[in-house]
């Protein structure tokens, strides 16, 4: 089974990437949709207990925040794949400005997440890591970390 952990600031393309690559095969665990950590934990536990592939589609900027998914998934035998969305802050702010008012995030929150962002590493328990870059022609470019 596979657990996918997204890492990146808001408006860096994580949810779009999920829809393009994982919507048909993985359960999406997203705090914006679930609204509480309790609900998130229930869904995570259901995925792990049911051996269901999932994507943690949140900012996950710190090692501690990522460990809430990595630790239990690793214990259950999941393969852990990380995707680091390395969109420049200016690009994320531009994308955020095009969102409708209800989905727009305060710029200060995006900057705050960027300031807390710790690059993911294999030492955290990832089995594979990828950098995700916005493509100049639309879509995404992937670069595997070795």
Question: Which residues on neighbouring strands pair with residue 145, listed in sequence order?
Answer: 129
Task: Find the mean pLDDT for residues 94-122.
Answer: 95
The predicted pLDDT at position 87 comes to 84
> How many whole angstroms from its chain centre is CA 124?
15
Closest to 7 in 3D by CA, of 62, 44, 52 = 62
111 Cβ contact partners less than 8 Å away, ≥ 6 residues apart: 89
| CA atoms 17, 69, 146, 89: torsion sign | positive
Report pLDDT digits (tens) over 58-100: 999 999 999 999 999 999 999 999 999 998 899 899 999 999 9
What is d(CA 40, CA 29) in angstroms, rounded to the nearest whole number?
A: 7
> In terms of pTM, does the model score above 0.85?
yes
Helix or strand (DSSP H, E) at 20? helix 14-21
């Amino acid at each position: 089974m596979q657990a996918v952990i997204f890492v990146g600031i808001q408006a860096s393309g994580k949810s779009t990437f999920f829809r393009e690559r994982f919507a048909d095969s993985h359960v999406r665990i997203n705090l914006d949709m679930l609204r509480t950590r309790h609900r998130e934990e229930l869904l995570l536990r259901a995925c792990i207990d049911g051996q269901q592939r999932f994507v943690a589609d949140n900012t996950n900027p710190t090692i501690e925040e990522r460990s809430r998914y990595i630790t239990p998934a690793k214990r259950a035998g999941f393969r852990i794949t990380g995707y680091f969305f390395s969109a420049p802050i200016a690009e994320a702010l531009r994308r955020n400005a095009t969102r409708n008012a209800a989905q727009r995030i305060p710029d200060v929150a995006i900057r705050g997440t960027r300031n807390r962002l710790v690059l993911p590493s294999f030492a955290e328990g990832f089995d594979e890591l990828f950098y995700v870059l916005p493509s100049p022609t639309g879509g995404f470019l992937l670069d595997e970390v070795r």
